[in-house]
Amino acid sequence: MATIEQIIDDFAYLDDWEDRYRYVIELGRTLDHMPEADKTDANKVQGCVSQVWLTHSADTDDPSDPVLHFVGDSDAHIVRGLVAIMLAACSGRKASQIVSFDESALFSKLGLMEHLTPQRANGLRSMVARIKSEAQAVSEPSPG
């Protein structure tokens, strides 16, 4: 799977939005396989028109700021590519980095929001909110 830096570089190289859409779809094809058993209502991202599922695991080497690894999938090609972009940006990072991640700067750099339908843009924001929420939840000290 491409790194977020590679994706940003590739977007800069592609002038035409049709080529960028094809690239986003191609990124979606590189996602790690998500088992069907993980495609549950609990893992579904609310606020997306397409179906989007996210799961995560945490490295517990540093319980106060664990590294999160996400797996995601969607039933729509372009949305699957957007999942791949978000996972490239967030998966494998510390929870604190994910919580403070500036998605607006990334979207601006890629020019995403002005080329997505309002429904897809809302879905992308919902996906980011879910990723940040998961990161916040694992980094909060447990009571007791």
Percent of the chain at pLDDT > 70 equals 97
Residue with tokens 């069907």: 36
48, 71, 86, 138: the active-site residue: 48
Q: Is residue 90 annotated as part of the catalytic site, yes or no?
A: no
The CA distance from 57 to 98, in Å, is 14
How many residues in total does the chain contain?
144
pLDDT value of residue 141: 62
Secondary structure of residue 74 in the 3-state scheme? strand
| pTM listed for this prediction | 0.92
Domains and CATH numbers, the chain: 4-139 (3.90.1010.10)
Query: Does residue 37 surpass a pLDDT of 60?
Result: yes
DSSP code for 73? E
* Residue 109, CB-side half-sphere exposure with 13 Å CA sphere: 15
> Stretch 113-130: mean pLDDT, rounded?
90
